[in-house]
Amino acid sequence: MKKGFTLIELMIVVVIIGILAAIAIPKFSSVKESAEMASCRSNMRSLATAMSMYYGVYNTYPANLAALTVAGAQGQGIIMENATLMHCPQAAAGVLYVYNFVAGPPISYNLACPVGAAGRPMNHGSVIDGIQSWQQ
């Protein structure tokens, strides 16, 4: 008597594994998407906090994100050292957040997620004068 599995038994196992993989893989991609959205919103929240700190020191918002990385003339320290490195995880390489500053009156800013690598907006939200669109 031979020991081992028949070809039919092995094929049934392969089919079952294939069905399980077909069910599980889409679940993992949606988890990755939601993790990237959470990371993007966290980055925007950090930048908005840095904007508030900048406003507290200079009584205006910065003209661009690079201003957060420069020490002030009156001895104020750097507000956020990595502000020019923050980007959405789904954005194309080197594409930073879209930042618009309005000198006023009233002074205002708008920080938004950039267009994705495929050319489509990612709709992760925006921060306008410290108010996060996903919490309204």
pLDDT digits (tens, 9 = 90+) for 108-135: 899 988 876 666 667 788 888 888 888 7
Q: Which domain, by its residues, includes 43? A: 8-135
Residue 84 lies in a domain: yes
Q: How confident is the model at residue 76, as a pLDDT?
A: 75
pTM recorded for the entire structure: 0.75
Residue 34 lies in a domain: yes
DSSP line for 29-73: HHHHHHHHHHHHHHHHHHHHHHHHHHHHHHSS--SSGGGGGS--T
Residue 2 lies in a domain: no
Q: Indicate which CATH number applies to the domain containing 75.
A: 3.30.700
* Diameter of the chain measured on Cα atoms: 91
Number of domains in the chain: 1
Residue 15 lies in a domain: yes
Q: How confident is the model at residue 119, as a pLDDT?
A: 61
33-54 tens-digit pLDDT: 888 889 999 999 999 999 999 9
Residue 31 lies in a domain: yes
* Percentage of residues in the chain having pLDDT higher than 70: 92
